[in-house]
Structure formats: C-alpha cells, structure tokens
Amino acid sequence: MKFWHTLLLHLMSVVCLLLTASAQKTRGFALQAISPKFWDLVDHQAKLEPVATGFGFTEGPMWDAAGFLYVSDETINKIFRVYPNGRKEEVIALGDPDGNTFDRQHRLIDCASVLRAIIAVTPDGKYTTLADRYDGKRFNSPNDVIVGPDGALYFTDPTLDLVAGEKQEIPFQGVYRLDDKGNVRLLTRDLTQPNGLAFSPDGKRFYIDDSEKRNIRVFDVAADGTLSNGRIFGEEPGAKHDGVPDGIKVDKSGNLFVTGPTGIWIWDSKGNHLGTISMPEQPANLTWGDKENRTLYIAATTSVYRLELKTQGFVPYLAP
C-alpha cells in the first residue's frame, strides 16, 4: 500500500510540474488595457525586446547611466553588469543577491539574503555591510531596497529567502529605515510578507507589496519617514503559479508599475487598475532606464527585457 501511495504522489508531482511548464510556454507578450488611460502610458505598437537570457532567476535590475544594467541572479548567486547587446560581466559572487538600488552617492546597494544584510557593492566587486541587525537580532532576509526622499535607505525584510536551517531571530517581517549613520528604525510590522516598495514622486505616500496577501499597501509619510494611515491600495489576485505582487516602480505622474500575476500591472495614483502588460516569463522586478528614463527594464525569471513607454519614470536617487 505504501508503494502505491508513494507512486501516486510522485505522479501527481510530475503532472503539476508539466502543467506549470505548459502554462509558462503558452504565455506571451500582450497589452491588456482596462481603461483608455492605459494608452496614455503605453503605445499600441510597443514591442517587448529581449536584452539577455540564460540566467537562473533575475532580480534587482538597476540602470547605470554609463549604459548598462546591474542584475542580480539569485540562483547563480552573482550580480552582473548586463549590456544592451546582451553581454554579461560578473561583478561579485554573493549568496542569493536580491533587490538593488543606488543611493545618493551612486553606490550600488544590495539586499544580500544569505548575509542577511544590506550591503554596498563597489564596481570592482568588494562589499561593505551597512546593516545586518535590528535591536541586536539578525535580519530575516532583506528583499528590496530604495532610497527615500530624505536620502535614507528603506527596505523590506520578509522570510522569503531565509537560509534553510537558520533561525528566524526577529519574530515578524518588517519594513525599515536605515540612515547614513547606520541607525536602523522599524517603520511597520503590519504586513505579512513585505516585498517591493516605492515612494510617490512627491514623497508623501509609501507603497509596499504584501506578497502573501497579494495586495499593495499604501501609507502616509512624515518628513522623518514615520508611516501612518496604512491601507490597501490595490489587490492583485491570481492562480498559484501566476506570480504575486513583487517589484514596484513609479512614473513621474505617480502611476504605479507593479509586477504581479502574468506580468506588470499598471495602476493610477488613485488605485485604479488601468491594465496589464502580459509577459512571456514571470517578472520579479523592474527599473527605469535609457537616456530619458522612458524604458522599463524587466527582470523576468531567466531573462531581462526592455519595453519603451510613453511616460517618464521617477528615479528616486536622482530626485532633488
């Protein structure tokens, strides 16, 4: 009896894998408008272009004005420079690098999951730990990071990439502020699984994805970074293997571009879902790039893509 039970479980696992693979193969690029305002941001003839492929799992794309992207590969455990012609250069080998940003000094800041730390990475592949503890306890696995309107770093710390066998020391999954003196302040512990995050262009609203709840939360922000009035901004429901709310970017008009089920969901600043950019591979994160920041560079599973838009991106570390 045990043999047949084991065989049945094995067959069910194989079927699930085949169904997932089949679903991925049938996915493609499509522009799915819900509101006519979608076309104010995306051209009807917009073309999705592959930049580079052959990765394990891409994350944390960041455009450098020198003409390349920084891209994390969580499977290969490296950060690369990726050029528009597809060429890759290894920057650093690092256990499970995740979300990235530039700070106001143009340092590359990475969420280093295995180190359980926020680090600064130099162009020649060295790193410095900026913070790895809150209240004397090690972080879970920092996931995504941005620079705020006050110049401080803001990051999420879910347990998504907590190393197997290591202890969770902080009994919640928080969102934090890290200042230039190394001080870490907890902003909220109200989310179940905080992930991507972004500020509105005026710095008055703070958006955070909750991947487990499949929603986007928004908070009001005080000048010192204190959050208040947390509420649900939008929901991104989907099937089990369709993806969850993850990376967030905002354009200069305050519209949100949020990775989610099957692609990139576009929201206006009032929480109206304008439409979805369906992707051939599930995206995890995205960034603005090229000369006028009118191109979305998208980290999607094994590949990096680019998509020119009609709108102009808001880039926090360049904000005055």
SS3 state of residue 53: strand
Q: What is the CA radius of gyration of the chain?
A: 19
For 149, the token pair is: 């309107």
Predicted confidence (pLDDT) at residue 308 exceeds the cutoff of 90: yes
SS3 state of residue 205: strand
SS3 state of residue 309: coil
State pLDDT tens for residues 72-98: 999 999 999 999 999 999 999 999 999
Determine the Cα–Cα distance for residues 222 and 33; give it in Å rounded to an integer.
35
Burial environment of residue 78 by CB neighbours within 10 A (0 to 12, 13 to 18, 19 or more): buried
* Cβ atoms of 144 and 195 closer than 8 Å: yes
Predicted confidence (pLDDT) at residue 256 exceeds the cutoff of 70: yes
- Which pLDDT belongs to residue 240? 84
Q: 100 has which bridge partners?
A: 110
Determine the Cα–Cα distance for residues 289 and 287; give it in Å rounded to an integer.
6
Average pLDDT over residues 287-292: 96
- Which pLDDT belongs to residue 13? 41
Predicted confidence (pLDDT) at residue 149 exceeds the cutoff of 50: yes
- Which pLDDT belongs to residue 11? 44
Torsion of CA 17, 23, 24, 28, to 10 degrees: 180
Q: How many CB atoms lie within 10 A of CB 181?
A: 6
For 302, the token pair is: 């094994």
Query: Which sign does the torsion angle of CA 193, 56, 279, 99 carry?
Result: positive
Count of CA atoms in the C-beta half-sphere (13 A) of 263: 20
Q: How confident is the model at residue 241 (pLDDT cuts 50, 70, 90)?
A: confident
Predicted confidence (pLDDT) at residue 198 exceeds the cutoff of 50: yes
Determine the Cα–Cα distance for residues 224 and 86; give it in Å rounded to an integer.
41
For 162, the token pair is: 């907590």
- Which pLDDT belongs to residue 25? 53
Count of CA atoms in the C-beta half-sphere (13 A) of 240: 4
φ, ψ at 131 (rounded to 5°): -165, 140
Higher-confidence position of 86 and 25: 86
- Which pLDDT belongs to residue 22? 45
Q: 259 has which bridge partners?
A: 264
